[in-house]
Chains A and B, each alone.
Chain A
Amino acid sequence: MKMQLSKSLKYALCAATLLGWSHAAQAATKLTVYTAVEPEELQGFKAAFEKNNSDISIQWVRDSTGIITAKLLAERENTKADVVWGVAATSLLMLDNLGMLEGYAPKGLDKVNALYRDSADAPAWVGQRAWIASLCVNTIESKKYNLPMPTSWQDLTNPVYKGHIVMPNPASSGTGFLDVSSWMQIWGEDKAWEFMDGLHSNIGIYTHSGSKPCKMAGKGEFPIGISFAYKGAQLKNKGAPLEVIAPKEGLGWDLESFGIIKTSKNIAAAKRFADWSVSTEANVMYNQGYAVVAIDGIAKPVKGFPPEVITRMIKNDFAWAAENRTRILKKWENRYGSKSAPK
């Protein structure tokens, strides 16, 4: 009995090994892609790309923008990533400054809006879609506290909102910094600090993630969240009592973008994925949820997304923001970082 058992176990192992081999023989080039795109979307992108590229298999490593960027910067030339995809352009700029990205002009690059890509002929990074700063306002809680509906950033300094606003801490979250840098680009630094002094006295708490303020607003934890439009629309469509507001002075934004890693051993496959990523098919998919995509004329309006969000996007200077980030954050931490929550 014992013999038999071990024999059948051996057969089973052999069969399993063979299966594994035959699977490996068919299996395609494994393309390791680091991404910050929301997990529920990844399956769709993978299937769509592999449909016509069956010799390539995408392996996602998905995490938040901060984690993915830190991981890449720590791994540097030893990274296992072939492509970075759906990650903030500001992060890709950092990688590019370290010489980690391989310039490549994907087929069809000419259709991509020049604002949304690295300007080099063989760009180090190409944008896919934009996420845009907005306010998420909980209608039920606003009514409860008798809060007027804000229409501008300046409105938020009104003492009536005291303790009712959440925003991402710019020192922990790229979205938080995007807000701060956009206010500075709109008003100049001095006026922006003045505005933030007023805003700070109304802030309930600063969060460590960019989408968190909108989620908190959605649950009524705090009535107003400074977050981004995409998240607001998504939660609203899921049934949250939210209104997405685009403050009239202008809105900061960043791009989900991709770039090819220079040390990749699968450059050819990576380039094909890059080609697909600027295709019309991909851009149509980007439009699910995001109202602004890299190729003009493709995007259709997204449910729950106020149309003026798009027209109020500021002319964003990524290079200026990157250069001044450390200096601004240090000042921000000293002014607001160490104070306790306002009562």
Chain B
Amino acid sequence: MNYSTTMNKDPRREKAPMGRPNFIQRMRHLSKDEMIMLAGLLAIVAAMMVALVLPLITIFTKSFQDNNGVFVGLDNFIEYFSSYGLVLSIWNSVGMALGVTLIAGSMAFIYAYALTRSCMRGKKIFRALASIPILAPSLLPAISLVYLFGNQGVIKDLLMGESIYGPIGITIGMCFYIFPHVLMIMVTSLSTSDARLYEAAEVLGAGRVRIFFTVTLPGARYGLISAGFVAFTLAITDFGIPKVIGGNFNVLATDIYKQVVGQQNFSIGAVVGMVLLVPALVSFVVDRHVRKKQTAVLTARSAPYHPKPHALRDGLLFTFCAAVTVFLVSILGMAAFSSFITFWPYDMSFTLVHYDFDAVDPNGWASFFNSLKMATITAFVGTGIIFMGAYFVEKCQSFKGLRTTVQMMAMIPMAVPGMVLGLAYIFFFADGDNPFSGIYGTMAILVLASVAHFYTVSHLTLVTALKQIDPEFEAVSASLKAPFYKTVARVHFPICLTAISDVAIYLFVNAMTTVSAVVFLYAPDTKLASISVLNMDDVGDQAPAAAMAMMIVLTSIVVKSLHALISRGINARAMAWKSATT
């Protein structure tokens, strides 16, 4: 039987339709809370229009024009789909992305399960190490894999004669790169659960396996589906990994690169960009479908779940997590190691010379501090906006149309390759007739691009966290005549604090490492460290590039540790309710 049916049904969704009052009547009946929410929703929709939808429309109209801006209808699409090579890329991309979703998804699920539902030792360390891939540019795993499995690789025999250049390399690199993104959503969805369900299941005599399939999985279903789509879309849009290690295995993301950067053919590039939007569209439809069935896991009467020790389970999970962690650490470690080697593979002596950035790049340290500034602003501004958006989408009870719009727009960024977003920003913001053209060439446009680019995962994480809080909290506070923002500040914010700070850190480290969107947008005085990495790798200074990448990794580690220290105190208080025994 399905235990979730015993949970509270959201009363607002059961309400019988009472005939639609007209607009003016509805406006008159808005409470103060609703007015504020309406204003907030409208503000978010407006911001998303400017930061996302309008720029994308600007570039996607190029797919109906030739390169001189003349309207040509569907010619570009016909040209694209009649070219055998380009269509083959679609199948290559889909196959690769499905494989990656399956592998990285199951890896992340077991890992997340171990972190949240077991009494395994070293959870904190495992959790910290799991975020390693996110700290480095996506170029890094590809570079590492060449050092490990390339023709001069240290352990290339493991591939038994297969070449790392191609689907194998892309898949391994992608699993590394995507793992923490997926893990973040899965941990969030597994960490909030109701102990009463497990008690009930045990009392009814359900075994461990049965409980897993009837309580654990259904409870985490929403997170699992979101995570799956995140994995799929990230795998299909990233071009850093296939560019370095893809060999002759063509995928859609490298096709965009060829069209835009190799041939300056924006029209066909825009067509490929549109094709890449399809997974996001599908994901949105599925998401709507799942949401209809999803109910709050954490209700106002919930008791937090505490795993009990179980030697065999905990031991197996520990072994699994250790294996995954070794994989992650060795990829990062390989890059770190290579940055200290004089000239791979012929002069393996130790050197620090690659860390002297000023010798290879005139922007040297300035670009590093630009990155720091940009990432900090992105983290604070982005988290604020995204939390607001997620709250309104999830908890507001009126304005269904607006909420759907925000939810739909929030799914777009992940499906848009950074390169497409960057070009869209040029077309949209550089235009002198645009009232926002003032931000072109400033730090502000880099922040805007980064928030927009990393919106989806942050949004999904916060929605998942909020979704697990019972709407009864609102009902209760409304009946006590408390305005909704007080409830947010006193209930939602503290409960979601872990997720919120995860998102802030996620934005920070991604802003430190992002390349593909901002590479088109930086100005002389806003050059970023991640672009220096790309530039150095580009001209052959691969060791200094690895060194600069390591600096970025170190910065992110420092920031993460600081965050952990500071939040420990706050967390202890805010999370006190979770550890209270019932």
Contacts and interface: CB of A to CB of B under 8 A. Distances in A.
Interface stretch (A146-154, A179-187, A332-340): A332-340
A211 B266 CA distance: 24
B382 interface: no
Contact of A208 (B254, B346, B363, B523): B254
Identify which of A60, A64, A337 gathers the most chain B CB atoms within 10 Å of its CB. A337
A42 to B, nearest CB: 5
B432 A78 contact: yes
Contacts of A59: 523-525
A173 interface: yes
A221 to B, nearest CB: 5
B333 to A, nearest CB: 19
A39 B363 CA distance: 9
Interface stretch (A15-23, A68-76, A124-132, A268-276): A68-76
B264 A69 contact: yes
Contact of B362 (A32, A60, A70, A326): A60
Nearest to A173: B262
Contacts of A60: 362, 524
Contact of A74 (B86, B163, B363, B426): B426
Identify which of A74, A75, A171 gathers the most chain B CB atoms within 10 Å of its CB. A74
Interface in B194-253: 243, 247-250
Interface residues of B, number: 60
B84 A338 contact: yes
10 contacts: A61-B523, A63-B531, A67-B519, A67-B520, A71-B520, A74-B266, A171-B263, A211-B538, A222-B151, A325-B263
Nearest to B434: A78
A61 B522 CA distance: 8
Interface stretch (A191-199, A233-241, A245-253): A233-241
Given A40-B359, A221-B151, A338 B538 contact: no
Interface string B497-523: 000000000000000000000011011
B343 A66 contact: no
B165 A205 contact: yes
Given A78-B430, A171-B263, A338-B85, 4 more contacts: A39-B532, A221-B152, A341-B247, A341-B249
Nearest to B520: A71
Given A172-B257, A205-B165, A239-B346, A337 B85 contact: yes
Given A63-B519, A70-B264, A222-B151, A215 B542 contact: yes
Contacts of A341: 163, 165-166, 247-249
A42 B84 CA distance: 43
Contact of A169 (B258, B264, B266, B430): B258
A62 B525 contact: no
Interface of B: 83-86, 88, 146, 150-152, 163, 165-166, 243, 247-250, 254, 257-258, 260-266, 343-347, 359-363, 423, 426-427, 430-432, 437, 440-441, 519-520, 522-525, 531-532, 535-536, 538-540, 542
A78 B432 CA distance: 7
A334 B84 contact: yes
Contact of A205 (B248, B431, B440): B248
A219 B345 contact: yes
Contact of B423 (A32, A74, A209, A219): A74
B46 to A, nearest CB: 24
B266 A73 contact: yes
B523 A80 contact: yes
A241 B361 contact: no
B503 to A, nearest CB: 30
A74 B520 contact: yes
Given A38-B539, A62-B535, A67-B519, A240 B258 contact: no
Interface string A167-180: 00101111000000
A231 interface: yes
B362 A46 contact: yes
Nearest to B259: A171
B261 A66 contact: yes
A150 B166 CA distance: 27
B426 A340 contact: no
Contacts of A235: 540
A86 interface: no
Given A39-B361, A172-B257, A205-B247, A334 B538 contact: no
A333 B257 contact: no
A63 B524 contact: no
Contacts of A220: 151-152, 345-346
A210 B431 CA distance: 32
